[in-house]
Structure 1
């Protein structure tokens, strides 16, 4: 009986330590590299549309938050980033149409239709910024997604200094149709991914070249 208690105590300690490291790493990731409150552009990170081409819940909330930030004067431009990564609908195009229907003028929106994941979202958006002479951005996404996006933005500035930008993250609202369990599941998945990336780094690619993996 004593042995069983010791095993359970040891297992509980391991689980507690893992959870502490997992969420400790996740919650201490940087949220910005500047203290600015106004930016050259907003970057809305892509999210798959529904199979009928209408905005999915997270996609909708990301865009609506960018509309609020645009109308509040946080930035005069919006980059909508995302390819047809998960179905036939280009995420940037679906998001642009929603933003325009909410009163954002077409000339304020730049579509980035190449990115197939978050790394490419950040890379291609930074590329567009440099082409337009913009140096700072507020990055908008779902709350659970932003720590990983911040890790990517920070790594891009280090690994590709010619592509570096000033940035901060800003969370969209959670879709009201998402349950607490659904949100917890998304947070846990992102925390696990961030923990792995903090210890192992990103795969070597043209977007985030890793000299240690050449």
Structure 2
């Protein structure tokens, strides 16, 4: 019985150490590689739309933060990135339609509708930037998602900073904490093991 209790203590200690390590590494991930305050473009990272094609809560808040930053003059262009990764609706189009409905000129919004995950969000957005001769971007997403996005952005040479969208007001504290926990664990694994080989991620 004592051996079992010792095992439980050891397992609990390892779990606690893992949680602390994940939290520390998660908080220490850089938020930018530049001191710029004005950028060539904003990149709004996608999130699945609702089953009826309307913007989901996080998708709505990410888009609205992009609209606010655009109207504040942080950048004169918006890249909406995200394909039909989780249902039949192209995330970038849903976000574009919402931004235009909020007064952003359609000609200032670029739709990137191929990306199936965050790595591809950055990869395809960077290709658009290259084609437009843009060299800087503010990247907008949910607060819990941005550290993982920053780990990807570190592979790129363009100048960037991240900006968190507000949490949807309908999200409970439990929903917010659970998202942070999932992403912190994910980032810990990426820090320890590195990214899997991908044609979409520069080395």
Name the TM-score, length of structure 2 as normaliser.
0.95
Q: Give the alignment's Cα RMSD to 1 decimal.
A: 1.6
Match in the other structure for 1:147:
147
- CA deviation profile, 1:53-83 (whole Å, cap 9, x unmatched): 0000000000000000001110000000011
1:149 shift after superposition: 0.3
The within-5 A match list for 1:201-212 is 201-209=194-202
Match in the other structure for 1:32:
32
Unaligned runs of 5+ in 2: none
Match in the other structure for 1:167:
160
Match in the other structure for 2:185:
192
- CA deviation profile, 1:145-203 (whole Å, cap 9, x unmatched): 00000000102x2xxxxxx3110000000001111101111111111111111111111
The within-5 A match list for 1:105-184 is 105-155=105-155, 157=156, 164-184=157-177
Distance in 2 (CA, whole Å) between partners of 1:64 and 1:72 is 12
Distance in 1 (CA, whole Å) between partners of 2:116 and 2:10 is 42
Distance 1:11 1:205, change over 3 A: closer
- CA deviation profile, 1:114-171 (whole Å, cap 9, x unmatched): 100000000000110010010000000000000000000102x2xxxxxx31100000
Match in the other structure for 1:103:
103
Q: Secondary structure at the match of 1:43?
A: strand
Q: Secondary structure at the match of 2:32?
A: coil
Q: How many residues align?
A: 203
Task: Write out the 4+ residue segments of structure 1 that deviate beyond 2 Å after TM superposition.
Answer: 1-16
Which deviates more from structure 2 when the two are superposed, residues 201-210 or residues 45-54? 201-210
Match in the other structure for 1:160:
none
- CA deviation profile, 1:8-54 (whole Å, cap 9, x unmatched): 65444323211111111111111100011110000000111001000
1:5 shift after superposition: 6.9
- Asked whether 1:82 is paired with 2:75, we answer no
Distance in 2 (CA, whole Å) between partners of 1:8 and 1:112 is 49
Q: Secondary structure at the match of 2:151?
A: helix
Distance in 1 (CA, whole Å) between partners of 2:46 and 2:5 is 48
- CA deviation profile, 1:73-115 (whole Å, cap 9, x unmatched): 1000000001111111111100000000001001110010110
Distance in 2 (CA, whole Å) between partners of 1:149 and 1:82 is 14
Match in the other structure for 2:15:
15
Unaligned runs of 5+ in 1: 158-163
Match in the other structure for 1:69:
69
